[in-house]
């Protein structure tokens, strides 16, 4: 799961308090612990979601590219836009080095919900009630082609 997020990046979905959704790409993603992900965003990308997050911090995201089907999860949480500080500096530097992204901001998401989106009987199943170890076992039973797995 972590490897897919970092290898493919994510599609980030936000919504106004009135429920109008917007999407941008989180091309550089860095998983920081078991329940936090940071995305480096260029000026044009943060320009779309920053005004929305200022009013409504809720964020949902799924893995981009092949990850949309091979890593069939939906992540939900609360997002914060960071334009300075240690976390911004670290993520922005790595995004520049790995993907050439000039980060204007970092979207830091603290995850609160996790869902399976695999088509079939498990679609929509909520998974964040599992411990990280249980979730790891659950994932490994279903997915064998995990890219750049670090652990």
15 binds other proteins (CB under 8 A): yes
* Closest CB 137 distance from other proteins, rounded Å: 17
111 binds other proteins (CB under 8 A): no
In what order do the strands lie in the sheet containing 73-82?
Answer: 21-26, 10-15, 58-63, 73-82, 105-116, 36-41, 28-31
48 binds other proteins (CB under 8 A): yes
Identified binder of other proteins from the candidate list 72, 103, 106, 109, rule CB under 8 A: 72
- Sole window of 29-37, 63-71, 88-96, 131-139 interacting with other proteins (rule: CB under 8 A): 63-71
Q: Indicate the residue among 119 and 131 with the shorter CB distance to other proteins.
A: 119
Strand duo 28-31 + 105-116: pairing? unpaired
Identified binder of other proteins from the candidate list 20, 54, 131, 151, rule CB under 8 A: 20
* Closest CB 144 distance from other proteins, rounded Å: 8
**Six token digits for residue 98:** 């790995």
> What gap in Å lies between CA 104 and CA 84, rounded to an integer?
9
> What gap in Å lies between CA 79 and CA 5, rounded to an integer?
16
**Six token digits for residue 15:** 């919504």
Nearest Cα neighbor of 106 from 33, 52, 23, 30 is: 30
Which residues lie near other proteins (CB under 8 A)? Answer: 11, 13-25, 27, 42, 44-45, 47-48, 56, 58-62, 64-70, 72, 74, 76, 101, 115, 117-120, 123-124, 142, 144
């Amino acid at each position: 799961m972590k490897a897919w997020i970092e290898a493919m990046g994510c599609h980030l979905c936000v919504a106004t308090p009135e429920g109008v959704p917007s999407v941008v790409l989180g091309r550089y993603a860095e998983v920081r612990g078991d329940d936090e992900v940071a995305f480096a965003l260029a000026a044009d990308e943060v320009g779309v979601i920053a005004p929305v997050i200022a009013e409504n911090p809720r964020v949902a995201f799924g893995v981009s590219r092949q990850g949309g089907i091979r890593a069939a999860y939906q992540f939900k949480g609360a997002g914060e836009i960071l334009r300075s500080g240690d976390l911004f500096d670290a993520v922005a530097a790595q995004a520049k080095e790995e993907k050439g992204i000039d980060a204007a901001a970092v979207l830091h998401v603290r995850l609160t919900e996790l869902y399976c989106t695999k088509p079939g009987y498990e679609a929509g199943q909520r998974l964040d009630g599992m411990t990280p170890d249980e979730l790891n076992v659950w994932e490994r039973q279903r997915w064998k082609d995990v890219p750049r797995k670090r652990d």
